[in-house]
């Protein structure tokens, strides 16, 4: 078994926990055996963690402590820092970012492509996971979706929005909202106990109440005061 080439506590004041040490050891073992860094999912499996989100949490802790470095949102860029370069988070010289993952450029260059995390269909009642921990990403034109911050892709459930061209099994590109939506915005929402995650409705306010409006005569408007709004739909993707 490959051992971490430094005793705990040498990188600043941070003392490694047994789980953090196992994560570091697995990254080193994987890189030595495969010639590349592991993904968050592979770290979770190899270090005995419950999920990729747990791996993301430990990597964040280790990066803040100066033991590892990685490019946020780019799979297979995590690396254990050499002994002489550790401790940047604790006041030492800054560490240069690791190599970027190789990606195919867009039609006119990679600067015009946004890599958007694909959340998939999340079970009802579960939150959207941290976007940085999601490894499955899809390239989209920046002109279509704008800046990458806060974007994710979600699978549509149900046929309540066929009147605006959103059909079952479509994928919608959603941007997280930090303010209240505007009237007429298409929003991705969670309706607790009513529908699965991924449902899309039109946001309306009337007489100080929020209504989620379907665009299919088979469905009625839904009170939205207690709905969880995940974001605004900015594009629709469909496989033909």
Contact assessment for residue 172 and residue 165, using Cβ atoms and an 8 Å cutoff:
no
Q: Is 11 a catalytic residue?
A: no
Question: Which region holds residue 106: left if phi is over 0, alpha if psi is between -120 and 50, else beta?
Answer: beta
Nearest to 159 by CA among 214, 212, 211: 214
- Which position among 11, 160, 226, 232 bears the catalytic label? 160
Q: For the packed helices 40-47 and 52-65, what is the interaxial angle rounded to 10 degrees? A: 90
What's the gap between Cα 10 and its chain centre?
32
Contact assessment for residue 216 and residue 163, using Cβ atoms and an 8 Å cutoff:
yes
What is residue 25's three-state secondary structure? helix
DSSP H or E run through 203: strand 199-206
Classify burial at 120, counting beta carbons within 10 Å of its beta carbon; exposed 0-12, middle 13-18, buried 19 or more.
middle
- Which position among 54, 201, 226, 232 bears the catalytic label? 201
- Residue 147: both structure tokens together: 């800046």
Q: Is 201 a catalytic residue?
A: yes
Query: Going by DSSP bridges, is the β-strand pair 113-120/151-155 parallel, antiparallel, or unpaired?
Result: parallel
Contact assessment for residue 6 and residue 28, using Cβ atoms and an 8 Å cutoff:
no
Contact assessment for residue 202 and residue 186, using Cβ atoms and an 8 Å cutoff:
yes
The residues assigned a catalytic role are 160, 201
């Amino acid at each position: 078994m490959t051992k971490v080439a430094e005793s705990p506590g040498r990188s600043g004041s941070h003392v490694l926990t047994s789980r953090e040490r196992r994560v570091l050891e697995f990254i080193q073992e994987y890189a030595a055996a495969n010639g590349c860094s592991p993904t968050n999912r592979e770290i979770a499996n190899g270090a005995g963690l419950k999920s990729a989100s747990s791996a993301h949490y430990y990597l964040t802790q280790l990066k803040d402590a100066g033991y590892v470095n990685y490019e946020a949102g780019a799979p297979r860029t995590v690396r254990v820092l050499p002994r002489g370069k550790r401790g940047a988070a604790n006041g030492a010289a800054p560490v240069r970012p690791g190599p970027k993952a190789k990606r195919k450029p867009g039609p006119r260059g990679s600067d015009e492509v946004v890599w958007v995390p694909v959340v998939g269909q999340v079970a009802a009642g579960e939150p959207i996971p941290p976007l940085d921990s999601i490894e499955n990403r899809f390239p989209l034109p920046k002109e279509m979706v704008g800046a990458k911050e806060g974007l994710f892709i979600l699978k549509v459930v149900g046929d309540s929005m066929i009147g605006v061209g959103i059909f079952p099994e479509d994928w919608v590109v959603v941007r997280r909202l930090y303010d209240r939506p505007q009237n007429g915005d298409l929003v991705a929402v969670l309706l607790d106990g009513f529908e699965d995650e991924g449902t899309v409705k039109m946001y309306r306010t009337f007489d100080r109440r929020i209504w989620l409006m379907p665009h299919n005569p088979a469905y009625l408007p839904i009170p939205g005061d207690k709905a969880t709004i995940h974001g605004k739909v900015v594009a629709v993707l469909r496989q033909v």
